[in-house]
A and B are shown apart, each in its own frame.
Chain A
């Protein structure tokens, strides 16, 4: 367990925590971006360079911006009158804690807790390209289709309806 891992872990977790607890929604979106960045760095630490850079490009570059746009379009920047947390927030917290407990218990009691050393894999983009066009060509095409559908759907859903007042 290297120091880098711990630092990156802390950044990610803190970023996530802040993302869900802040009152100002825009600050939440920015914190989310930090969390995304932390995760991207963790990917890099795990020698998954492609995944890390893809994470940076897509998540930070698109999703986070999208979230900020949505916040601004829905007046989410104003502080709500009754508080940011739901009336029954405690139940939700409890359930989330239960989920974490189960997952942690699973991890701790599994074989992953046993010491196990593996060599770092060397991955280059050419291999990834081959894999995408070879083994994973079907998922690729499907994802392409999915993205098209999602784009069309998003446009239709968010479009102004006929006769509706602005």
Chain B
């Protein structure tokens, strides 16, 4: 397989792993960890496509990835703050317990 395909597959794998973690772990922080993994996998995709795609001199892919990193950092801060706020209220981070939005 081509290098690009390899990178893409790796990214896909990391993405799937991150998704599995977000979907199966009880702890809310682990969900956030999974989300970070997913974001990173997406970044890898972007950079891989920049490296092996047309016009790498435009820096589009890498810039996208950089901005993504910045946004991911902000999002991680806010998300963890929310988790802490929920922990303060519900005394637990177990997502199976937090079902106040239950219909």
Contacts and interface: CB of A to CB of B under 8 A. Distances in A.
- In terms of DSSP, what is the predominant structure of the interface of chain B? helix
| Complex A-B, nearest 7 residue pairs according to Cβ-Cβ distance, in ascending order | A20-B21, A92-B23, A100-B16, A150-B74, A96-B20, A121-B56, A158-B81
Given A121-B57, A157-B78, A50 B33 contact: no
Interface string A1-19: 1000100010011001101
B98 interface: no
Interface in B34-71: 34, 36-37, 40, 43-44, 47-48, 50-53, 56-57, 59, 61-63, 65-67, 69-71
Contacts of A149: 74
A107 B45 CA distance: 11
A47 B84 contact: no
A71 B93 CA distance: 10
Interface of A: 1, 5, 9, 12-13, 16-17, 19-21, 25, 28-29, 32, 35-36, 39, 42-43, 46-48, 50-51, 54-55, 58-59, 62-63, 66-67, 69-71, 73-76, 80, 82-87, 89, 91-93, 95-97, 99-100, 103-104, 107-108, 112-116, 118, 120-121, 123, 127-128, 131-132, 136, 139, 143, 146-147, 149-151, 153-155, 157-158, 164
